[in-house]
Amino acid sequence: MIYWVGAAIVNRVPAADSALRLTNFSNIVVFGAYATYVIMTVMMLVMIIMRMPAAQVSTQRISEILETEDSLQEDSRTEAPKVGTVEFRNVSFHYPSSGKNVLENISFQVQRGETVAFIGATGSGKTTLVSLAARFYDVTQGEVLVGGVNVKDYTFDARYDRIGYITQKAMLFSGDIIEQGTHEQLLAKGSFYADLYNSQFEKAS
């Protein structure tokens, strides 16, 4: 539209007056550029306004999460008398969102170096049981002991040092195995891979 009107204006100037034609022409080009800036800005403003409700809802949700109080409190224990053991004593548990017990009166002991498998139908509580050992939730009854100490008595760091948790989904490493380094490199890095390897093959770390 701008260029269409502009062309008409330039054309109206007699061809002999080339200086005026040029001035008109450049004015129109500059005007066109400025008009584009203005339109772009308005478009951006419209985009911002359109996205505002989504941003508002997201902010609300984020602040909800940030303001959620941690239902698990840490204690002060850092030492474990019985290294590498896990014990459940009369554990019962139901999720906060439902009153029905998922686990009832579960008791067992696992010694260092032992491997235990829990077998059960879907929804029987295997994942729940393991997440209790890692204290993702607090038991509703009974106690869970790791290294001979109630998991509630540990500091968070001490507990994380003693429990490694690998989920059903393969989310542990990204990329391929070669990229992660050779077996020796990974062992030398220590930490999780070494723990995993040592626990599987019973080598003292």
Choice from 24, 92, 127, 180 touching ligand ATP (CB under 6 A): 127
Note whether 97 binds ligand ATP by CB under 6 A. Answer: yes
Contact partner at residue 120 from ligand ATP, Mg ion, none, CB < 5 to 8 Å by partner kind: ligand ATP
Least distance to ligand ATP, CB of residue 193, Å: 25
149 has which bridge partners? 146
User: Out of 18, 23, 27, 124, which residue is the one contacting ligand ATP (CB under 6 A)?
Assistant: 124
Residue among 76, 98, 200, 205 that touches ligand ATP (CB under 6 A) = 98
Rounded to 5°, the CA angle 181-184-188 comes to 95
Residue 174 binds to ligand ATP (criterion: CB under 6 A): no
Candidates 93, 125, 158, 162; binder of ligand ATP (CB under 6 A) is: 125
Q: Which does 174 bind (CB under 5 to 8 A by kind): ligand ATP, Mg ion, none?
A: none
If binding is defined by CB under 6 A, does position 99 make contact with ligand ATP? Answer: no
Told to check if 101 binds ligand ATP by CB under 6 A, we report no
CB 13 within 8 A of CB 21: yes
